[in-house]
Amino acid sequence: MIVLNKRVEELKPSGIREFFELVLGMKEVISLGVGEPDFTTPWNIRERAIFSLEEGYTSYTSNKGLFSLRKAISSYLEKYYDLSYDPETEILVTVGVSQAFDLAIRALVNERDKVLIFEPFYVAYPAISFLQGAQNLFLKLEEPDFKIKPKKLYEVLKKNKPKIIILNYPSNPTGVSYTKEELKELWRVIKKFDCVVISDEIYDRLSYDFIHTPFPKVGSAKKRTVYMSGFSKNFAMTGFRIGFVAAPSKIIEAMTKIHQYSMLCAPITSQMAALEALEKGEKELELMKKEYKRRRELVVEFLNEIGLKTTKPNGAFYCFSNIEVSRLKSVEFAKRLLLEKKVAVVPGIAFGDFDNFIRITYAQKIDTLKEALNRIKEFLSSL
Ligand code: PLP
Protein backbone atom coordinates (compact mmCIF):
# COMPACT_ATOMS: atom_id res chain seq x y z
CA MET A 1 0.00 0.00 0.00
CA ILE A 2 1.24 3.48 -0.82
CA VAL A 3 1.10 5.73 2.21
CA LEU A 4 1.61 9.40 1.53
CA ASN A 5 2.88 12.09 3.81
CA LYS A 6 0.08 12.93 6.22
CA ARG A 7 0.17 16.65 5.59
CA VAL A 8 0.30 16.30 1.83
CA GLU A 9 -2.79 14.13 2.05
CA GLU A 10 -4.51 16.68 4.24
CA LEU A 11 -3.57 19.63 2.05
CA LYS A 12 -6.71 20.86 0.34
CA PRO A 13 -6.51 21.03 -3.43
CA SER A 14 -6.60 24.58 -4.71
CA GLY A 15 -10.16 25.91 -4.87
CA ILE A 16 -9.63 26.86 -8.48
CA ARG A 17 -8.39 23.53 -9.80
CA GLU A 18 -11.71 22.35 -11.15
CA PHE A 19 -12.24 25.76 -12.67
CA PHE A 20 -8.93 25.87 -14.52
CA GLU A 21 -9.46 22.41 -15.89
CA LEU A 22 -12.50 23.90 -17.59
CA VAL A 23 -10.41 26.80 -18.98
CA LEU A 24 -7.87 24.39 -20.43
CA GLY A 25 -10.50 22.59 -22.42
CA MET A 26 -11.91 25.75 -24.04
CA LYS A 27 -10.93 27.74 -27.11
CA GLU A 28 -10.80 31.53 -27.65
CA VAL A 29 -11.02 32.37 -23.98
CA ILE A 30 -9.71 35.76 -22.83
CA SER A 31 -7.78 34.91 -19.73
CA LEU A 32 -7.63 37.48 -16.98
CA GLY A 33 -6.79 34.59 -14.70
CA VAL A 34 -3.12 33.82 -14.41
CA GLY A 35 -0.83 36.26 -12.63
CA GLU A 36 1.71 36.66 -15.36
CA PRO A 37 2.96 39.59 -17.46
CA ASP A 38 1.70 39.52 -21.05
CA PHE A 39 5.06 40.93 -22.17
CA THR A 40 7.75 38.63 -23.48
CA THR A 41 11.01 39.00 -21.57
CA PRO A 42 12.90 42.03 -23.00
CA TRP A 43 15.16 41.03 -25.88
CA ASN A 44 18.50 42.02 -24.34
CA ILE A 45 17.75 39.73 -21.37
CA ARG A 46 16.87 36.80 -23.63
CA GLU A 47 19.93 37.49 -25.74
CA ARG A 48 22.21 37.44 -22.71
CA ALA A 49 20.80 34.03 -21.78
CA ILE A 50 21.37 32.72 -25.31
CA PHE A 51 24.87 34.19 -25.47
CA SER A 52 25.80 32.67 -22.11
CA LEU A 53 24.90 29.25 -23.57
CA GLU A 54 26.97 29.96 -26.66
CA GLU A 55 29.87 30.87 -24.44
CA GLY A 56 29.52 27.52 -22.70
CA TYR A 57 28.10 28.57 -19.34
CA THR A 58 26.29 25.33 -18.57
CA SER A 59 27.57 24.36 -15.13
CA TYR A 60 26.38 24.54 -11.52
CA THR A 61 27.14 27.80 -9.76
CA SER A 62 27.95 28.48 -6.13
CA ASN A 63 25.02 27.31 -3.97
CA LYS A 64 24.17 30.89 -3.09
CA GLY A 65 24.25 31.94 -6.75
CA LEU A 66 26.87 33.54 -9.02
CA PHE A 67 28.87 35.97 -6.97
CA SER A 68 28.57 38.53 -9.78
CA LEU A 69 24.78 38.29 -9.54
CA ARG A 70 24.77 38.56 -5.74
CA LYS A 71 27.00 41.63 -6.04
CA ALA A 72 24.63 43.11 -8.63
CA ILE A 73 21.64 42.44 -6.33
CA SER A 74 23.48 44.08 -3.46
CA SER A 75 24.29 47.18 -5.59
CA TYR A 76 20.73 47.29 -6.87
CA LEU A 77 19.31 47.28 -3.32
CA GLU A 78 21.80 49.97 -2.36
CA LYS A 79 20.99 52.11 -5.38
CA TYR A 80 17.20 51.88 -5.31
CA TYR A 81 16.50 51.54 -1.65
CA ASP A 82 19.65 52.63 0.15
CA LEU A 83 19.73 49.15 1.71
CA SER A 84 23.03 47.51 2.49
CA TYR A 85 23.39 43.71 2.28
CA ASP A 86 26.65 41.78 2.12
CA PRO A 87 26.69 39.67 -1.08
CA GLU A 88 28.88 37.05 0.65
CA THR A 89 26.66 36.34 3.62
CA GLU A 90 23.31 38.10 3.35
CA ILE A 91 22.02 37.34 -0.14
CA LEU A 92 20.79 34.06 -1.64
CA VAL A 93 19.70 33.55 -5.26
CA THR A 94 16.70 31.22 -5.51
CA VAL A 95 14.46 29.48 -8.02
CA GLY A 96 11.84 32.20 -7.98
CA VAL A 97 10.31 33.82 -4.93
CA SER A 98 8.40 30.55 -4.65
CA GLN A 99 11.54 28.74 -3.54
CA ALA A 100 12.67 31.71 -1.45
CA PHE A 101 9.43 31.52 0.50
CA ASP A 102 9.60 27.76 0.89
CA LEU A 103 13.18 27.95 2.19
CA ALA A 104 12.37 30.75 4.60
CA ILE A 105 9.50 28.79 6.10
CA ARG A 106 11.56 25.60 6.32
CA ALA A 107 14.48 27.42 7.91
CA LEU A 108 12.41 29.20 10.53
CA VAL A 109 9.33 27.18 11.42
CA ASN A 110 9.11 24.32 13.87
CA GLU A 111 6.08 22.05 14.30
CA ARG A 112 3.16 24.03 15.78
CA ASP A 113 4.86 27.42 15.49
CA LYS A 114 2.34 30.12 14.72
CA VAL A 115 2.47 31.90 11.37
CA LEU A 116 0.35 34.99 10.79
CA ILE A 117 -1.10 35.31 7.29
CA PHE A 118 -3.19 38.22 6.08
CA GLU A 119 -6.28 37.30 4.14
CA PRO A 120 -6.78 37.58 1.15
CA PHE A 121 -3.42 35.86 0.67
CA TYR A 122 -1.19 34.63 -2.10
CA VAL A 123 -2.19 30.97 -2.37
CA ALA A 124 1.23 29.50 -1.54
CA TYR A 125 1.55 31.01 1.94
CA PRO A 126 -0.87 28.87 3.95
CA ALA A 127 -0.05 25.73 1.94
CA ILE A 128 3.74 25.86 2.39
CA SER A 129 3.44 26.88 6.00
CA PHE A 130 0.96 24.05 6.70
CA LEU A 131 3.29 21.51 5.06
CA GLN A 132 6.02 22.58 7.47
CA GLY A 133 3.73 21.83 10.39
CA ALA A 134 2.95 25.41 11.32
CA GLN A 135 -0.22 26.57 12.90
CA ASN A 136 -1.59 29.16 10.48
CA LEU A 137 -3.37 32.20 11.91
CA PHE A 138 -5.38 34.45 9.65
CA LEU A 139 -6.20 38.13 9.94
CA LYS A 140 -8.84 39.16 7.49
CA LEU A 141 -8.36 42.48 5.71
CA GLU A 142 -11.44 44.32 4.66
CA GLU A 143 -12.85 46.75 2.18
CA PRO A 144 -12.64 49.55 1.33
CA ASP A 145 -8.83 49.57 1.49
CA PHE A 146 -7.81 45.98 2.41
CA LYS A 147 -5.01 47.32 4.61
CA ILE A 148 -3.54 45.95 7.82
CA LYS A 149 -4.71 48.19 10.67
CA PRO A 150 -2.12 48.69 13.45
CA LYS A 151 -4.71 48.37 16.24
CA LYS A 152 -6.08 45.08 14.93
CA LEU A 153 -2.57 43.82 14.32
CA TYR A 154 -1.60 44.64 17.90
CA GLU A 155 -4.59 42.71 19.25
CA VAL A 156 -3.79 39.64 17.16
CA LEU A 157 -0.09 39.69 18.05
CA LYS A 158 -0.80 40.17 21.74
CA LYS A 159 -3.30 37.34 21.84
CA ASN A 160 -1.48 34.79 19.66
CA LYS A 161 2.22 35.68 19.73
CA PRO A 162 3.05 34.27 16.28
CA LYS A 163 6.66 33.50 15.45
CA ILE A 164 6.34 34.59 11.82
CA ILE A 165 4.41 37.38 10.11
CA ILE A 166 4.05 37.24 6.33
CA LEU A 167 3.79 40.55 4.53
CA ASN A 168 3.14 40.98 0.83
CA TYR A 169 2.92 44.39 -0.81
CA PRO A 170 1.96 45.40 -3.44
CA SER A 171 -0.39 42.54 -2.73
CA ASN A 172 -1.56 39.63 -4.76
CA PRO A 173 -4.62 39.61 -5.08
CA THR A 174 -5.60 43.19 -4.10
CA GLY A 175 -2.70 45.25 -5.49
CA VAL A 176 -2.82 47.28 -2.28
CA SER A 177 0.46 48.68 -0.97
CA TYR A 178 1.70 50.79 1.95
CA THR A 179 3.43 54.15 2.22
CA LYS A 180 6.54 54.51 4.35
CA GLU A 181 4.47 56.15 7.09
CA GLU A 182 1.99 53.28 7.14
CA LEU A 183 4.82 50.75 7.30
CA LYS A 184 6.35 52.63 10.20
CA GLU A 185 3.06 52.32 12.06
CA LEU A 186 3.05 48.57 11.44
CA TRP A 187 6.64 48.19 12.58
CA ARG A 188 5.90 50.19 15.75
CA VAL A 189 3.46 47.41 16.63
CA ILE A 190 5.47 44.43 15.37
CA LYS A 191 8.68 45.41 17.14
CA LYS A 192 6.98 44.99 20.52
CA PHE A 193 6.80 41.26 19.83
CA ASP A 194 9.40 38.61 19.25
CA CYS A 195 8.72 37.63 15.66
CA VAL A 196 10.34 37.46 12.24
CA VAL A 197 8.78 39.15 9.22
CA ILE A 198 8.89 37.41 5.86
CA SER A 199 8.28 40.21 3.38
CA ASP A 200 7.38 39.13 -0.14
CA GLU A 201 7.85 42.22 -2.28
CA ILE A 202 7.91 40.57 -5.68
CA TYR A 203 5.86 43.43 -7.23
CA ASP A 204 7.98 46.18 -5.67
CA ARG A 205 8.95 47.94 -8.89
CA LEU A 206 5.39 47.84 -10.17
CA SER A 207 4.22 50.52 -7.72
CA TYR A 208 2.17 53.27 -9.33
CA ASP A 209 1.15 55.78 -6.66
CA PHE A 210 4.14 56.25 -4.37
CA ILE A 211 7.72 55.14 -4.02
CA HIS A 212 7.94 51.59 -2.73
CA THR A 213 9.55 51.17 0.69
CA PRO A 214 11.03 47.75 1.41
CA PHE A 215 10.23 46.50 4.90
CA PRO A 216 13.89 46.20 5.99
CA LYS A 217 14.14 49.96 5.35
CA VAL A 218 11.56 50.68 8.04
CA GLY A 219 12.97 51.65 11.46
CA SER A 220 15.03 48.78 12.87
CA ALA A 221 13.06 46.09 10.99
CA LYS A 222 16.03 44.93 8.89
CA LYS A 223 17.47 42.70 11.59
CA ARG A 224 14.23 40.73 11.82
CA THR A 225 13.13 40.74 8.19
CA VAL A 226 13.54 38.15 5.47
CA TYR A 227 13.14 40.30 2.37
CA MET A 228 12.42 38.60 -0.94
CA SER A 229 11.90 39.79 -4.47
CA GLY A 230 12.55 38.54 -7.93
CA PHE A 231 12.56 38.89 -11.65
CA SER A 232 9.31 37.15 -12.69
CA LYS A 233 7.04 40.16 -12.52
CA ASN A 234 9.27 43.25 -12.56
CA PHE A 235 11.19 42.11 -15.64
CA ALA A 236 8.57 39.77 -17.20
CA MET A 237 10.77 36.72 -16.57
CA THR A 238 8.38 34.15 -15.05
CA GLY A 239 9.80 31.26 -17.08
CA PHE A 240 13.37 31.95 -15.99
CA ARG A 241 12.42 31.02 -12.42
CA ILE A 242 14.70 33.36 -10.59
CA GLY A 243 14.38 35.27 -7.32
CA PHE A 244 16.45 36.32 -4.35
CA VAL A 245 16.43 36.73 -0.59
CA ALA A 246 18.21 39.35 1.50
CA ALA A 247 18.26 38.68 5.24
CA PRO A 248 20.46 38.48 8.33
CA SER A 249 23.34 36.06 7.71
CA LYS A 250 22.08 33.54 10.28
CA ILE A 251 18.87 33.08 8.30
CA ILE A 252 20.64 33.07 4.92
CA GLU A 253 23.02 30.37 6.18
CA ALA A 254 20.11 28.24 7.34
CA MET A 255 18.24 28.68 4.07
CA THR A 256 21.41 27.90 2.10
CA LYS A 257 21.83 24.64 4.01
CA ILE A 258 18.43 23.44 2.81
CA HIS A 259 18.95 24.89 -0.67
CA GLN A 260 22.30 23.11 -1.17
CA TYR A 261 20.71 19.73 -0.54
CA SER A 262 17.39 20.27 -2.24
CA MET A 263 18.23 22.50 -5.22
CA LEU A 264 22.03 23.00 -5.35
CA CYS A 265 21.65 26.30 -7.16
CA ALA A 266 19.40 28.29 -9.48
CA PRO A 267 19.97 27.57 -13.21
CA ILE A 268 23.05 29.38 -14.53
CA THR A 269 21.34 30.55 -17.74
CA SER A 270 18.65 32.27 -15.70
CA GLN A 271 21.23 33.80 -13.39
CA MET A 272 23.00 35.27 -16.42
CA ALA A 273 19.70 36.68 -17.67
CA ALA A 274 18.99 38.17 -14.23
CA LEU A 275 22.37 39.86 -14.28
CA GLU A 276 21.47 41.52 -17.56
CA ALA A 277 18.11 42.60 -16.14
CA LEU A 278 19.83 44.37 -13.26
CA GLU A 279 22.52 45.89 -15.44
CA LYS A 280 20.41 46.96 -18.41
CA GLY A 281 16.74 46.23 -17.72
CA GLU A 282 15.55 49.54 -16.34
CA LYS A 283 14.30 51.15 -19.52
CA GLU A 284 12.07 48.21 -20.44
CA LEU A 285 10.85 47.88 -16.86
CA GLU A 286 9.75 51.52 -16.87
CA LEU A 287 7.94 51.06 -20.19
CA MET A 288 6.06 47.98 -18.94
CA LYS A 289 5.20 49.75 -15.71
CA LYS A 290 3.80 52.75 -17.59
CA GLU A 291 1.62 50.42 -19.65
CA TYR A 292 0.30 48.54 -16.58
CA LYS A 293 -0.56 51.86 -14.99
CA ARG A 294 -2.53 52.93 -18.07
CA ARG A 295 -4.41 49.64 -18.02
CA ARG A 296 -5.14 49.99 -14.32
CA GLU A 297 -6.91 53.32 -14.88
CA LEU A 298 -9.09 51.80 -17.59
CA VAL A 299 -9.98 48.59 -15.76
CA VAL A 300 -10.66 50.02 -12.30
CA GLU A 301 -12.87 52.78 -13.65
CA PHE A 302 -14.84 50.41 -15.86
CA LEU A 303 -15.38 47.82 -13.14
CA ASN A 304 -16.64 50.40 -10.66
CA GLU A 305 -18.92 51.88 -13.29
CA ILE A 306 -20.62 48.55 -13.95
CA GLY A 307 -21.16 47.96 -10.25
CA LEU A 308 -18.24 45.67 -9.40
CA LYS A 309 -16.80 47.62 -6.49
CA THR A 310 -13.03 47.62 -6.90
CA THR A 311 -10.41 49.12 -4.62
CA LYS A 312 -7.82 51.01 -6.64
CA PRO A 313 -4.66 48.89 -6.56
CA ASN A 314 -1.42 50.75 -5.85
CA GLY A 315 0.72 48.22 -7.65
CA ALA A 316 1.08 44.77 -9.26
CA PHE A 317 -1.45 43.97 -12.01
CA TYR A 318 -4.54 42.71 -10.17
CA CYS A 319 -7.98 44.03 -9.26
CA PHE A 320 -9.94 42.40 -6.47
CA SER A 321 -13.55 43.13 -7.33
CA ASN A 322 -16.66 42.78 -5.22
CA ILE A 323 -19.32 40.79 -7.12
CA GLU A 324 -22.16 41.04 -4.57
CA VAL A 325 -24.25 42.91 -7.13
CA SER A 326 -24.44 39.70 -9.20
CA ARG A 327 -25.83 37.71 -6.25
CA LEU A 328 -23.57 34.87 -7.34
CA LYS A 329 -20.83 33.24 -5.29
CA SER A 330 -17.33 33.49 -6.72
CA VAL A 331 -17.01 30.02 -8.27
CA GLU A 332 -20.46 30.21 -9.82
CA PHE A 333 -19.71 33.71 -11.15
CA ALA A 334 -16.37 32.68 -12.64
CA LYS A 335 -17.76 29.46 -14.12
CA ARG A 336 -20.72 31.15 -15.77
CA LEU A 337 -18.60 34.05 -17.03
CA LEU A 338 -16.27 31.52 -18.58
CA LEU A 339 -18.95 29.36 -20.15
CA GLU A 340 -21.26 32.16 -21.26
CA LYS A 341 -18.78 34.89 -22.23
CA LYS A 342 -15.44 33.12 -22.49
CA VAL A 343 -13.63 35.31 -19.99
CA ALA A 344 -11.54 33.66 -17.27
CA VAL A 345 -11.08 35.29 -13.86
CA VAL A 346 -10.12 33.73 -10.53
CA PRO A 347 -12.83 33.12 -7.88
CA GLY A 348 -12.17 34.99 -4.63
CA ILE A 349 -12.29 31.84 -2.49
CA ALA A 350 -8.88 30.87 -3.87
CA PHE A 351 -7.46 33.66 -1.69
CA GLY A 352 -9.32 32.87 1.54
CA ASP A 353 -12.75 33.69 2.86
CA PHE A 354 -13.70 35.96 -0.03
CA ASP A 355 -16.54 34.29 -1.84
CA ASN A 356 -17.98 37.67 -2.90
CA PHE A 357 -14.93 38.61 -4.91
CA ILE A 358 -13.06 37.78 -8.10
CA ARG A 359 -9.49 38.55 -9.05
CA ILE A 360 -8.95 40.14 -12.43
CA THR A 361 -5.45 40.32 -13.90
CA TYR A 362 -4.93 43.32 -16.16
CA ALA A 363 -1.68 42.07 -17.68
CA GLN A 364 -3.29 42.01 -21.12
CA LYS A 365 -3.27 44.35 -24.13
CA ILE A 366 -5.65 47.31 -23.85
CA ASP A 367 -7.88 46.10 -26.70
CA THR A 368 -8.15 42.64 -25.19
CA LEU A 369 -9.00 44.19 -21.83
CA LYS A 370 -11.69 46.37 -23.41
CA GLU A 371 -13.26 43.33 -25.07
CA ALA A 372 -13.14 41.33 -21.82
CA LEU A 373 -14.65 44.18 -19.82
CA ASN A 374 -17.50 44.57 -22.31
CA ARG A 375 -18.18 40.86 -22.02
CA ILE A 376 -18.25 41.13 -18.22
CA LYS A 377 -20.71 44.02 -18.54
CA GLU A 378 -22.93 41.98 -20.86
CA PHE A 379 -22.74 39.06 -18.46
CA LEU A 380 -23.91 41.21 -15.55
CA SER A 381 -26.78 42.61 -17.60
CA SER A 382 -27.88 39.11 -18.53
CA LEU A 383 -28.29 37.98 -14.90
N1 PLP B 1 4.76 35.80 -4.45
C2 PLP B 1 3.66 36.38 -4.96
C3 PLP B 1 2.92 37.36 -4.14
C4 PLP B 1 3.21 36.03 -6.24
O5 PLP B 1 2.12 36.62 -6.73
C6 PLP B 1 3.94 35.06 -6.99
C7 PLP B 1 3.46 34.63 -8.32
O8 PLP B 1 2.37 34.88 -8.73
C9 PLP B 1 5.08 34.50 -6.41
C10 PLP B 1 5.46 34.88 -5.15
C11 PLP B 1 5.90 33.48 -7.15
O12 PLP B 1 6.84 34.12 -7.92
P13 PLP B 1 8.07 33.41 -8.65
O14 PLP B 1 7.73 33.34 -10.09
O15 PLP B 1 9.24 34.33 -8.40
O16 PLP B 1 8.26 32.09 -8.02
Peptide bond before 144: cis, by omega within 30 degrees of 0?
yes
- Output the pLDDT for position 182: 98
Number of domains observed in the structure of the chain? 2
Same domain, 88 and 214: yes
Q: CA 379, 13, 153, 108 torsion: positive or negative?
A: negative
* Secondary structure tally for the chain: helices H, strands E: 13, 13
Same domain, 169 and 202: yes
Ligand 1 atom closest to Cα of residue 98: 16
CATH number at residue 125: 3.40.640.10
The reported pTM is 0.97
Ligand 1 atom closest to Cα of residue 203: 3
CATH number at residue 341: 3.90.1150.10
- Output the pLDDT for position 12: 84
Is the distance from the beta carbon of residue 91 to the nearest atom of ligand 1 less than 6 Å? Answer: no
Q: Is residue 319 packed enough to be buried (19+ CB in 10 Å), middle (13-18) or exposed (0-12)?
A: buried
Q: Domain containing 359: what range?
A: 6-41+283-382
Same domain, 318 and 191: no
Residues of the chain with pLDDT under 70: 15-18
Same domain, 211 and 353: no
- Output the pLDDT for position 15: 61
Same domain, 255 and 298: no
- Output the pLDDT for position 22: 75
Peptide bond before 170: cis, by omega within 30 degrees of 0?
yes
Q: What percent of the chain has pLDDT over 70?
A: 99
Last residue of a domain, one of 240, 262, 280: 280
- Output the pLDDT for position 238: 96
- Output the pLDDT for position 35: 87
Is the distance from the beta carbon of residue 291 to the nearest atom of ligand 1 less than 6 Å? Answer: no
Same domain, 338 and 288: yes
Query: Is 78 part of any domain?
Result: yes
Answer for the pair 64, 258: CB distance below 8 angstroms, yes or no.
Answer: no
Query: Is 51 part of any domain?
Result: no
What's the gap in Å between 97 CA and the centre of ligand 1? 6
- Output the pLDDT for position 29: 92
Same domain, 218 and 115: yes
Is the distance from the beta carbon of residue 98 to the nearest atom of ligand 1 less than 6 Å? Answer: yes
Is the distance from the beta carbon of residue 230 to the nearest atom of ligand 1 less than 6 Å? Answer: yes
Same domain, 196 and 322: no
- Output the pLDDT for position 16: 63
Query: Is 47 part of any domain?
Result: no
- Output the pLDDT for position 17: 65
By alpha-carbon position, which residue is closest to atom 12 of ligand 1? 97
Q: Is residue 22 packed enough to be buried (19+ CB in 10 Å), middle (13-18) or exposed (0-12)?
A: middle
Give the CA distances from residue 186 to residues 123, 182, 194, 213, in Å, rounded to whole numbers and listed in that order: 23, 6, 14, 13
Last residue of a domain, one of 230, 255, 280: 280
Same domain, 98 and 246: yes
Ligand 1 atom closest to Cα of residue 230: 15
Give the CA distances from residue 42 to residues 62, 80, 308, 380, 383, in Å, rounded to whole numbers and listed in that order: 26, 21, 34, 38, 42
Please tell me the distance from the alpha carbon of residue 53 to that of residue 271, in angstroms, as a whole number.
12
Please tell me the distance from the alpha carbon of residue 190 to that of residue 158, in angstroms, as a whole number.
10
- Output the pLDDT for position 25: 79
CB neighbourhood size of 140 (10 A): 12
Is the distance from the beta carbon of residue 204 to the nearest atom of ligand 1 less than 6 Å? Answer: no
What's the gap in Å between 325 CA and the centre of ligand 1? 31
Query: Is 108 part of any domain?
Result: yes
DSSP 46-81: HHHHHHHHHTT--S---TT--HHHHHHHHHHHHHHH
Same domain, 327 and 219: no
What's the gap in Å between 98 CA and the centre of ligand 1? 6
Give the CA distances from residue 201 to residues 245, 336, 346, in Å, rounded to whole numbers and listed in that order: 10, 33, 22
Query: Is 50 part of any domain?
Result: no
Same domain, 245 and 293: no
